Copies of this chain bind each other. A is one copy, B any other.
Amino acid sequence: MIKAGIIGSTGYSGEELTGLLYKHPNVEIDFLCSHSYVGENFSSLYGNLRRFVDEKCVSDEEAFKRISDIDILFTALPSGKALEFGKSAMENKIKFIDIGSDFRLKSKELYREWYNLEHNYLDLLEKSVYGLPELNRSKIKEAELIANPGCYPTASTLALAPLIKNNMIDTKNIIIDAKSGVSGAGRKASIGNLFVECNDSIKAYGVASHRHTPEIEQNLSELSSEDVKLTFTPHLVPMSRGILSVCYGKLLAEATQENLMNLYKDFYKNEYFVRVIDELPETRWVKGSNFCDISLRVDSRTNRVIVISAIDNLVKGAAGQAVQNMNLMFGLKEDTGLEATPIFP
């Protein structure tokens, strides 16, 4: 059995990961660490896991001590908080997956610019492998330290990769308009995320300034011969889970709906967790699962292509993808513990 520790277990991603690892046939949870709930029973916070995960949350201090006993450490923390844990994991020669954002941007300058933090673990950053299995599988298998992708970057990169890789669209003319459920904002007491403030309303936020922008650009630039700069607009939608990413590209040559659908079906033909579908994706169809549904439409009037992807932000956008990465790192079947079909309604 793989022994796992989770730091930040009581946030929404942490809880999702806890649930997934609890059910994972090859994993044993060694400890759950929580900054805010030390000593509290995990299931007193998450009553869904009552009877299943009834152990007490441990402190950071305790967690650091137990790192030497485990095989893999997961962090699901705010920016800047995973660095020390990563260092300790490497020193203890165990695997490490950061679900947060501390190892995603390869450039420390970009990290400083967008996160307003100094990255003092450049050796770790160098080691880190970006954990998007559909595009990076072989490296992930060999990795010690995984930067688990952000939710928006997961949905958006998977949506655009086939076009970028095949030089089908103008890399200077990409717009991503994405929509997220409120769990993406995390489980912290804030007035802006109260039920009453979010219910029955929609807003854009972080327009032209969201931190996932350089991450998406980094991903697409790697697939392209050019340096991709794009416009990214996230929105908050009155739903608990789900991300819908709507990506606009200008076609460099004419292409039909059929051409492009075939391109996508071919590109992802071996990818279990990507469903290329004819219908337009909806977040409800992937809820609770690690799937990414993708479809597209050609707007022949304007020679644009609109690619739409849907994921569950807590699963493929966070904890599920982390498990997928762990499976690869440990040589397990990639979908182990991720067999859940989406739940509807």
Q: Mark A166-197, 1 if CB is under 8 A from B, else 0.
A: 00000011010101011100011111011111
Question: Quick one: which of A15, A195, A275, A340 has the most chain B CB within 10 A?
Answer: A195
Docked-complex contact A345 and B280, CB < 8 angstroms: no
A230 near B: Cβ within 8 Å?
Answer: yes
Docked-complex contact B203 and A341, CB < 8 angstroms: no
Q: Mark A2-42, 1 if CB is under 8 A from B, else 0.
A: 00000000001001000100110000000000000000000
Name which of A60-68, A117-125, A155-163, A302-310 contacts chain B: A302-310
A134 near B: Cβ within 8 Å?
Answer: no
Docked-complex contact A187 and B195, CB < 8 angstroms: no
A78 near B: Cβ within 8 Å?
Answer: no
A310 to chain B, nearest CB (A): 8
- Give the contacting residue for A277; candidates B15, B22, B47, B250; CB below 8 A: B47
Across the interface, which residues of B come within 8 angstroms of A182, CB to CB? 194-196, 199
A231 near B: Cβ within 8 Å?
Answer: yes
Across the interface, which residues of B come within 8 angstroms of A284, CB to CB? 47-48, 197, 200-201, 203
Docked-complex contact B202 and A283, CB < 8 angstroms: yes
- Give the contacting residue for A195; candidates B46, B49, B194, B235; CB below 8 A: B194
Docked-complex contact B285 and A344, CB < 8 angstroms: no
Docked-complex contact B202 and A50, CB < 8 angstroms: no
Given contacts A199-B239, A342-B48, contact A194 B204 (CB under 8 A): no
Name which of A262-270, A293-301, A329-337 contacts chain B: A293-301
Docked-complex contact B340 and A340, CB < 8 angstroms: yes
Q: Which of A121-172 contact B (CB under 8 A)?
A: 172
- Give the contacting residue for A299; candidates B231, B280, B302, B339; CB below 8 A: B231
Across the interface, which residues of B come within 8 angstroms of A49, CB to CB? 341-342
Given contacts A237-B237, A281-B203, contact A287 B196 (CB under 8 A): no
Across the interface, which residues of B come within 8 angstroms of A204, CB to CB? 244, 246, 280, 306, 308
Q: Chain A: residues with CB nearer than 8 A to chain B?
A: 12, 15, 19, 22-23, 44, 46-52, 172-173, 175, 177, 179, 181-183, 187-191, 193-205, 207-209, 229-231, 233, 235, 237-242, 244, 246, 248, 250, 275, 277, 279-289, 293, 297-302, 304, 306, 308, 314, 339-345
